[in-house]
Chains A and B, each alone.
Chain A
Amino acid sequence: MNRTPEHTSQERTLLVGLAGQPNVGKSTLFNLLTGLTQHVGNWPGKTVERKEGTLAHNKTRMRLVDLPGTYSLTAHSLEEQVARDFIIQEQPDVIVMVADASSLERNLYLLAELLILCTPVVLALNMLDVAEAQGIQIELHVLEAALGLPVVPMVATRNQGPDELIAAIEHLAYNPATFHPTLPQIAAPHRRVLDQLKEMVAGQVPAPFDPDWVALKLLEGDTEITRKAKGWAGKLLWPRIEALLAAHEDAVLDIASGRYEWIGRMVRAAVTRPRLGQVSLTDKLDRVAVHPLWGLVLLFCVFAAVFWLTFTLAVPLQEWLDVTVVGQAHVAARHLLAGAPGWLAALVADGVLGGAGLVLTFLPILAVFFGALALLEDTGYLARSAYVMDRFMHALGLHGKSFLPLFLGFDCNVPAVMGARVIESRSGRLLTILLAPLVPCSARLVVLAFLAPAFFGAAALPVALALVALNLLVLVLVGITLSHTLFRGQHVAFIMELPLYHMPNARTIGTAVWNNTWAFVRKAGSFILLASVVVWALSYFPTGALEQSYLARLGRSLSPMGELIGMDWRMLVALISSFVAKENAIVTLGVLYGQSGGGLASTLAAQVPPASALAFLTVTMLFIPCLATVAVMRQETGSWRWTLFDVALLLAIALGAGILVYHGAGALGMEG
C-alpha cells in the first residue's frame, strides 16, 4: 500500500472511514466530530446514503466518511457492499471502528473482518458508561496489547474521548509502520484448502483487491466476490476453483466460529463480566414492550402519541405557513406584477408560488415525523415495534419493520415512503414503498370528510368507513399478490437486533430531522415545483379560465371513458387536478360546478347521482399518489421504472374499482 512519507504528510488531508455495527452510537460520534460540516449525498449509483464531513485539528485536516452501520463485511446487503467497496477502492488512511463496550464480543466480529482487509484500524470503545452500569470492566491496556491496535475509551453522548480519538487517528496515519494487529486465523481443517485457493487466484486478481482476501471470501461463499472471481479466473481455471469450493461448503460455518474463537482469546484477559442473573433495565422494559398483548397496547399508545404530536405541532404550523407565508407572498406577487401581462402574474402567483408553497407546507409534517422516527430509533423502541408487528406483516410478504412507515402513512404518504429506509433489504423496502400510497393519507381523508356528507348525508359515516376499509383491503390484496409474483423468492430472513434501551441524544435526533427534511427539499422539491407549474399551465391556458383550459379539454376527451365509471368531464378534471395535491379535488369541483364552500355541498348533492358519487369517492381514495409522493418514490427507489409501474398499477386498480362500484351500485338500485 502506498503511504506518503512522514515529512510531506503534515499538509495533506487524511481520509478516515467510520465503521461500526448498528446501534453503537456511530452517528452520535460522527455528528460530534464533524458538526455542521456534514454533507449528505448518495453513494455513486446506490440508494444508500453517504455522509461526509471535515475536521481540522492542529495542522491536520481530516475528511470523515460515515460508513453504513453493518454487522459484517460480507456482501449480504447493499450497505455492507458499500462499506467494503469504500475500504478497498478508496483506501482510507485510517478506519475508526466504533464498538459498543457493553457487547464487545459481537462488535469485534466486524473488526475481524476489517483486519483481514489490511487496513489500519483504531478501535473507539464507545458507550463505556453503559458497560460500567452493567458491571462490565474492561482493562484497556490488556485489550490494546492483545489486539495490537490503538484502543480509545469513549462516551460520545457525553462528549468524552473525541480529542484522544483524533490524536490516535493522527498517530496511526503518520506512523503506519507501528500497526501490528493480531490477525484472526482460519481453523486448522480449512487452512490447506485456503492455501490452495490462494495459489489458484494469485495473479488473477486485479488491484486494488487483495488475492488472499479474495480467496477467503470465496471460501465464505460471498456472492459478489464469487461473481467477480468467475470473470477474473476465466473458463479454464474457474471450474477447478468451483470444484474445490463445492467440496468445502462447510467452511462457512467454521470461518465464522473461528472468528469468535479469536474474539474469545482477545477479550478473555481484558473483560470481566458480572455473574449472570441480574435483571437489567432493558429486560424490565421488555417485559411490557415485547409482550404479545401489552406490547400491542404500548405500540398503539406510542403511535397515538405520534399522531397527537403531528396534529398539535405540525398541522397548525402547516396552516400558518400556507395562509400567512404563502398567502402573503401571493398577495405581494400579484401587487408587484400588477402591470405585467395577466398570464405572467398568474404564473408567478399561482403556478410557481403554488408549487413552492406545496413543498413548504410538507416540511412541518416531515420534521415531526422524522423527529419521532429518530427518537423511537435512538431509544431502541423502533426495533421492538417491528418485533411485535412481525407476525401480522408476514401475509403481505413483509416484515415487522415495514409496519411503522406504512402505519404513519395515514398522516402523509411522503414520510411513509421515506421512512421505508429503516428496512434493510432492497426488496422489502421496495415492496413497502409500492404499498405505501394505498394507505389513505390525511389529505384524502379530508376530501372524504367533505364530500361524503355532501353526497350521502346521514349515510356519510358508513360510506366513509367502508371506503377506508376498501383501501386497506386493496393494500393487503396487492401486498399478497406482489409478494407471490414479482417478489416471489425474495423472502429475506427476519433477523433483527433488539438494542439496549438508552436515553435519546438530542443532537442525533436534530441531525436526522435536518438531513431528511433538507433531502426532501433538495431532491424532491424541484420536481414538485416543476410538475405543479405544468399542471397549473394546463389548467390556465389558453384563455385563463379553467372551463376552457387544456385540462378541461383533456377531461372532455376522456368523457367516453368517464361514462364507464359514471363521471362527467368535470369530475374527471377534478380527479386529474388531485394529482398535484389531493385537496385540489374539492377546489376544482367548486370552480367547475360554479360553487364553493357550503354551496358546493348542496350543488353536488343535487347534480351528482349517488352511484357516480360513490364511484368518484372510490377512485379518489385509490387514485395515483400525489405529486410529492411520486417524487419521493422516485428519490427512494432510484428508479423511474418502479415508480411508474406503481402509478400505472394504482391507476388500473382505481379505475377497475370505480367501474365495479358504479355498476354494482347501479345493479343494487342506486340511481346512476
Chain B
Amino acid sequence: MSARPPVPLAQLAPGAQAIVREIRGGADFSGRLAGMGLTKGARIEMLQNVGRGPVLVRAHETRIALGRGEALKILVEETSHEPYA
C-alpha cells in the first residue's frame, strides 16, 4: 500500500473520501477549523466542488462549506473514490 502524496482539498472530486494530513494558514485558521471538526487526521468526504465556487465537505457528521482559498490550504490524502454519477 503506497501512501499517496497529499493534495489540496480543493482538488478532490465530489464523492471522494480522504484524511486530512496538514493544515496551513496559521493558528487562527486551524483553530477555527478544529471547532467544526476539521483537524489533522479527520476523515472527510467531498460533497460538492463546482467551478471556482466554495466547496462542501462532510467531517464528523457535519457539513462544512469552505471558500476555495481556504480549501487550498488544507492538504488531504485520498483514501477512496467512487466515480461521481
Establish whether residues B34 and A72, one from each chain, have CB atoms under 8 Å apart when the complex forms: yes
Q: A21-B35, A387-B54 are in contact. Are A252 and B65 (CB under 8 A)?
A: no
Establish whether residues A256 and B40, one from each chain, have CB atoms under 8 Å apart when the complex forms: yes
- CB within 8 Å of B: which A460-496 residues: 493-496
Closest to A72 in B: B35
Establish whether residues A106 and B36, one from each chain, have CB atoms under 8 Å apart when the complex forms: yes
Q: Given the complex, which residues of A lie within 8 Å of B40, measured CB to CB?
A: 253-254, 256-257
Q: Given the complex, which residues of B lie within 8 Å of A499, measured CB to CB?
A: 63
Q: How many residues of A contact B (CB 8 A)?
A: 42
Establish whether residues B65 and A494, one from each chain, have CB atoms under 8 Å apart when the complex forms: yes
Q: Given the complex, which residues of B lie within 8 Å of A105, measured CB to CB?
A: 37, 60-61
Q: Which listed residue, A109, A252, A390, A496, touches B35 by the CB 8 Å rule?
A: A109
Q: Mark B1-44, 1 if CB is under 8 A from A, else 0.
A: 00000000000000000000011011111111111110111100
Q: Given the complex, which residues of A lie within 8 Å of B65, measured CB to CB?
A: 383, 386-387, 390, 494-498
A488 to chain B, nearest CB (A): 15
- CB within 8 Å of B: which A213-233 residues: 220-223
Please count the residue pairs between chain A and chain B whose beta carbons lie under 8 angstroms apart in the complex: 125
Establish whether residues B61 and A103, one from each chain, have CB atoms under 8 Å apart when the complex forms: yes
Closest to B36 in A: A71
Q: Which listed residue, A106, A253, A260, A390, touches B54 by the CB 8 Å rule?
A: A390
Q: Given the complex, which residues of A lie within 8 Å of B42, measured CB to CB?
A: 257, 260
Q: Given the complex, which residues of A lie within 8 Å of B29, measured CB to CB?
A: 493
Q: Is A502 an interface residue (CB 8 A)?
A: no
Establish whether residues A220 and B31, one from each chain, have CB atoms under 8 Å apart when the complex forms: yes
Q: Given the complex, which residues of B lie within 8 Å of A497, measured CB to CB?
A: 36, 62-65
Q: Given the complex, which residues of B lie within 8 Å of A496, measured CB to CB?
A: 64-65
Q: Given the complex, which residues of A lie within 8 Å of B23, measured CB to CB?
A: 253
Q: Is A76 an interface residue (CB 8 A)?
A: yes
Q: Is A290 an interface residue (CB 8 A)?
A: yes
Q: Is A259 an interface residue (CB 8 A)?
A: yes
Establish whether residues A253 and B39, one from each chain, have CB atoms under 8 Å apart when the complex forms: yes
Complex Cα distance A310/B70, Å? 37
Closest to A71 in B: B35
Q: Mark A381-405, 1 if CB is under 8 A from B, else 0.
A: 0010011001100100001100000
Establish whether residues A76 and B61, one from each chain, have CB atoms under 8 Å apart when the complex forms: no
Establish whether residues A493 and B32, one from each chain, have CB atoms under 8 Å apart when the complex forms: yes
Q: Given the complex, which residues of B lie within 8 Å of A387, measured CB to CB?
A: 54, 56, 65
Q: Given the complex, which residues of B lie within 8 Å of A71, measured CB to CB?
A: 32, 35-36
Establish whether residues B60 and A498, one from each chain, have CB atoms under 8 Å apart when the complex forms: no
Closest to A219 in B: B27
Complex Cα distance A497/B56, Å? 9
Q: Given the complex, which residues of A lie within 8 Å of B56, measured CB to CB?
A: 290, 387, 498
Q: Is A74 an interface residue (CB 8 A)?
A: yes
B83 to chain A, nearest CB (A): 16
Q: Given the complex, which residues of B lie within 8 Å of A21, measured CB to CB?
A: 35
Q: Is A292 an interface residue (CB 8 A)?
A: yes
Q: Mark A90-124, 1 if CB is under 8 A from B, else 0.
A: 00000000000011011001100000000000000
Establish whether residues B28 and A223, one from each chain, have CB atoms under 8 Å apart when the complex forms: yes
Complex Cα distance A221/B64, Å? 24
Q: Mark B51-63, 1 if CB is under 8 A from A, else 0.
A: 1111010011111
Establish whether residues A495 and B33, one from each chain, have CB atoms under 8 Å apart when the complex forms: yes
B6 to chain A, nearest CB (A): 14
B69 to chain A, nearest CB (A): 8
Establish whether residues B34 and A259, one from each chain, have CB atoms under 8 Å apart when the complex forms: yes
- Can you report 15 A-B residue pairs in the complex whose CB atoms are below 8 A from each other? A70-B35, A71-B35, A74-B35, A103-B37, A220-B31, A221-B26, A221-B28, A252-B31, A253-B23, A254-B40, A260-B60, A292-B50, A494-B69, A494-B70, A495-B33
Cβ-closest 6 pairs across A and B? A71-B35, A221-B27, A494-B67, A72-B35, A256-B34, A391-B53
